[in-house]
Amino acid sequence: MTEVVRIETPLTHEKAAQLKSGDNVLLSGVIYTGRDAAHKKMVEALARGEELPFNVKDQIIFFVGPTPPKPGQVIGSAGPTTSYRMDAYSPTLIERGLTGMIGKGLRSAEVVDAMKRYGAVYFGAIGGLGALLAKRIVAAEVIAYPELGPEAVRRLEVKDFPVMVIIDQEGNNLYEIGKAKYRTI
Amino acid sequence: MKIIKVNEIIEAVEKMCIEANYDLGNDVMLSIQRALKTETSSSGREVLERLIENASIAHEERVPMCQDTGMTIIFVEVGQDLHIEGGMLTEALNEGVRRGYKKGYLRKSVVKDPFERINTEDNTPAIIHYDFVSGDELHITVAPKGAGSENMGALKMCKPSDGLEGVMQFVVDTVERAGGNPCPPIIVGVGVGGIMEKASYLAKKALLREVGVHNKEERLAKIEEKLLERINKLGIGPQGYGGINTALAVNLEVYPTHIAMLPVAVNINCHAARHKEIILKGREY
């Protein structure tokens, strides 16, 4: 396991450029949530010439739809959802300055191209780690599309949120590198 | 004729929805611990360690292990000498889901229409499979299924000439295409034979088997072993970060089929392989 890199948000281009595929990262600061329905709404808003519910420049979007919080909890279980469903929308947001995405699983060539062109990083959080990850979220507030329930856009404050750099700005991909290393078929 | 009242069914389903999402089965936990001992990739080991920690937090703090608390799949074996009293069985099962998902603070992930996509707000309807058996008991299995793994399933209508090798290759290719998406280490359910929907049903039902328990037929158990070996050579590893533990188990079920058919369905389950079951006994009232 590589040494842990600590990153404070916002994720500026300078910070993002230092991250390499395979880096173990602890994120702290503000991040935003969004998944299928919210991404669709955001990209449709842009197409109509409207503003996004938050400025995506130098920000990170976490693909998550948490469970409802129990009394006393900041947020319910909150692990990543599978990222490829956001592939149709991510390039538009990356073009607008989004520098980070947290999810799990493979991304399309179009997303990786946009990441390389505009400078963005794809982080993996461990899928199915919802109970543990929720404990690293210290504040949560719905800021847009409340009608979407678990899919609403939330502003989260995280502290030492564990992620791994899957795809860096150069397009190096841990899924490809890792698989090649252990493949014996 | 013995009787089961619907309230008993509702309460049982409510409880199982919650427990399935909070408590990872011992079989899965033990197999993750076994994988941790064999895993050669350091990031793979770290993933497995965190999964064990996550399951403990969920169990101790009574929270869902994963935010995707699934669409609720229910398998029901109805003893044909039973009478269900007080309402419709299907409605009782759905009412149990409705109550369990509310009481357990589970995520409501079901939309009413695949095109309009408006949330039903109570995680109903459940997907219910009925089977009729002898006796006067009601056997209910509740298996919440997340979309991350379900979306990676596949069906192929193979030709009989594709044979066992063609079937095995399709299973391995399906797992390879899925990569890290379905949250490996995964459990692979394989249904072969029957007809299109029968193969899919068998693949799903295969996921209910305990991890580590092979098909009772030795020839099928051997195919399961071979498939597991081939899958774990793909290198995908825990979470797709690379490693030798991509799958914890391959469970195969077969059924008679047509002379011109060889349907194969692959249903993938994530490491949060959730299922709880109960047998309710009919009583004289």
Residues A67, B57: C-beta atoms closer than 8 Å: no
A14: CATH = 3.20.130.10
| Rounded CA separation B196/B205 (Å) | 15
Judge whether A158 and A136 are in contact, CB under 8 Å.
yes
Residue in chain A lying closest to B152 (CA): A82
Within an 8 Å CB–CB cutoff, is residue A40 touching chain B? no
HSE-up (13 A, CA, CB side) for residue B202: 23
pLDDT band at B1 (very low <50, low <70, confident <90, very high): confident
Q: Inter-chain contact B235–A181, Cβ cutoff 8 Å?
A: yes
B64 to chain A, closest Cα gap in Å: 6
Query: What pLDDT, on the 0 to 100 scale, is given for residue A2?
Result: 60
Instruction: With CB atoms and an 8 Å threshold, state whether A124 touches B271.
Output: no
Give the one of A37, A77, A149 whose C-beta lies nearest to B67's C-beta: A77
Handedness of CA A35, A36, A41, A46 (dihedral sign): positive
- CA separation for the pair B192, B266 (Å, rounded): 9
CA distance B139 to chain A (A): 28
Structure confidence by residue, pLDDT tens digits, B147-188 = 999 999 999 999 999 999 999 999 999 999 999 999 999 999
**B148–A82: do the CB atoms touch at under 8 Å?**
yes
pTM, rounded to two decimals: 0.96
Q: What are phi and psi of B51, to 5 degrees?
A: -65, -40
Contact of A57 with A68, CB cutoff 8 Å? no
B147 touches chain A (CB under 8 A): yes
ipTM above 0.85, yes or no: yes
Average pLDDT over residues A24-49: 97
* Residues 6+ positions from B189 with CB-CB distance below 8 Å: B202, B203, B204, B205, B206, B207, B251, B253, B266, B267, B268, B269
Query: By the 8 A CB rule, do A6 and A26 touch?
Result: yes
Average pLDDT in the B252-257 region? 98
3-class secondary structure, B256: strand
Q: Residue A41 is part of which domain span?
A: 4-182
Nearest to B119 among A66, A149, A180 (CB): A149
Reference B122, options B149, B93, B87, B143; nearest CA is B93
pLDDT of residue B259 exceeding 70, the answer is: yes
Please, which residues 21-80 of chain B have a Cβ atom closer than 8 Å to chain A?
A: 40-43, 46-47, 50-51, 53-55, 57-58, 61-69
CA B244 – CA B228 distance, rounded (Å): 11
Report the distance separating Cα A16 and Cα A171, nearest Å.
13
A164 touches chain B (CB under 8 A): yes
Token pair in block for residue B115: 């095109």
What is the tens place of the pLDDT at every residue in A54-105? 999 999 999 999 999 999 999 999 999 999 999 999 999 999 999 999 999 9
The verdict on whether omega for the bond into residue B185 sits within 30 degrees of 0, i.e. cis, is yes
Can you give the residue ranges of every domain in chain B?
A: 2-21+65-146+275-281, 148-269
User: Are B18 and B58 spatial neighbours (Cβ–Cβ below 8 Å)?
Assistant: no
* DSSP-derived secondary structure for B91-117: HHHHHHHHHHHHHTT-----BSSTTT-
Q: Residue B237 is nearest to which of A84, A131, A182, comparing CB atoms?
A: A182
B111 touches chain A (CB under 8 A): no
Report the alpha-carbon angle B123-B128-B129, nearest 5: 160
Instruction: Provide the pairing of β-strand B71-79 with B127-133.
Output: parallel
Q: Is the dihedral of CA A79, A81, A87, A90 positive or negative?
A: negative
CB spacing of A178 vs B233 below 8 angstroms: no
Instruction: Count structural domains, chain A.
Output: 1
Average confidence (pLDDT) over B14-30: 97
pLDDT digits (tens, 9 = 90+) for B62-120: 999 999 999 999 999 999 999 999 999 999 999 999 999 999 999 999 999 999 999 99
CA distances to A119, A173, B26, B138, B230 from A142, in Å: 28, 32, 36, 43, 45
Instruction: Provide the shortest C-alpha distance from residue B72 to chain A (in Å).
Output: 15
Subunit contact B237:A178, Cβ cutoff 8 A:
yes
Q: Which residues of B touch A126 (CB under 8 A)?
A: 47, 50-51, 54, 239
Cα–Cα distances in angstroms (integers) from residue A81 to residues B136, B149, B174, B200, B266, in the given order: 42, 10, 20, 24, 21
